[in-house]
């Protein structure tokens, strides 16, 4: 199996490993786990149409990366990559690139009638400088900024990418 083939839909059994990816990357604190549970369980349980959680397995079959993508409500065929994280020990080895390229291919193969644009929202803080560089390098345009969205001095930056030429 090549690395691409190890990407699979998440199951309920992946919840702890995926939460750990977020915690290990300081994306949220332990007090915010309940919010994470809500965005993980309903889509993985198939309760939300088109919502997809993907995981990439490491050597011990524990998720080493995870992504969550869903269509944005009130938009026209625009999808939002709500979550992307790679285990800190595996950063910088192409895992995040393989994950986002996989998600893009999934959406592209669904066709333009289903998916036109992929956006991803991230923070303006220093902690996310690497993530911002990552999205730019993957061909996303920095499209919009909402001041103080996540907190005073912590803007939301929206990255945008067309899925079809």
Ligand X SMILES: CC(C)(COP(=O)(O)OP(=O)(O)OC[C@H]1O[C@@H](n2cnc3c(N)ncnc32)[C@H](O)[C@@H]1OP(=O)(O)O)[C@@H](O)C(=O)NCCC(=O)NCCS
Contact footprint for ligand X (CB under 6 A): 25, 27, 84-86, 91-97, 120, 122, 128-131, 133-134, 137
Least distance (Å) from ligand X to the CB of residue 52? 16
Task: Please name which of 118, 113, 112, 4 lies closest in space to residue 52, comparing C-alpha atoms.
Answer: 118
Rounded Cα gap, residues 155 and 22, in angstroms: 20
Closer to ligand X at the Cβ: 9 or 133?
Answer: 133
In angstroms, the CA 10 to CA 50 distance is 14
Closest approach, Cβ 138 to ligand X, in A, equals: 8
DSSP H or E stretch at residue 24: helix 15-24
Q: To the nearest whole angstrom, how small is the minimum distance from the Cβ of residue 22 to ligand X? A: 8
Closer residue to ligand X in complex, CB, 129/162: 129
Q: Which residue's CB is nearer to ligand X, number 35 or number 130? A: 130
Cβ contacts of 39 within 8 Å, gap of 6 or more: 68, 82, 83
* Cα–Cα dist 90/102, whole Å: 18
In the complex with ligand X, the residue whose CB is nearer, 36 or 114, is 36
The residue (of 44 and 134) whose beta carbon lies closer to ligand X is 134
Tokens of 164: 């079809």
**Nearest residue to ligand X on Cβ basis:** 96
Shortest CB 97 distance to ligand X, Å: 3
We find the least distance from the C-beta atom of residue 132 to ligand X, in angstroms, to be 7
Residue 134 burial (CB count, 10 A): 21
């Amino acid at each position: 199996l090549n690395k691409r083939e190890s990407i699979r839909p998440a199951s309920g059994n992946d919840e702890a490993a995926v939460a750990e990816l977020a915690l290990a990357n300081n994306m949220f604190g332990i007090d915010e786990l309940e919010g994470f549970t809500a965005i993980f369980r309903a889509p993985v349980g198939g309760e939300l149409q088109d919502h997809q959680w993907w995981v990439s397995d490491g050597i011990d079959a524990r998720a080493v990366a995870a992504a969550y993508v869903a269509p944005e409500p009130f938009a026209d065929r625009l999808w939002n990559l709500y979550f992307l994280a790679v285990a800190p020990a595996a950063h910088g080895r192409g895992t995040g690139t393989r994950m986002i390229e996989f998600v893009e291919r999934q959406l592209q193969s669904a066709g333009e009638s289903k998916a036109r644009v992929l956006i991803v929202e991230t923070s303006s803080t220093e902690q996310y400088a690497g993530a911002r560089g990552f999205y730019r390098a993957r061909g996303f345009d920095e499209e919009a900024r909402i001041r103080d969205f996540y907190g005073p001095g912590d803007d939301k930056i929206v990255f945008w990418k067309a899925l079809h030429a």
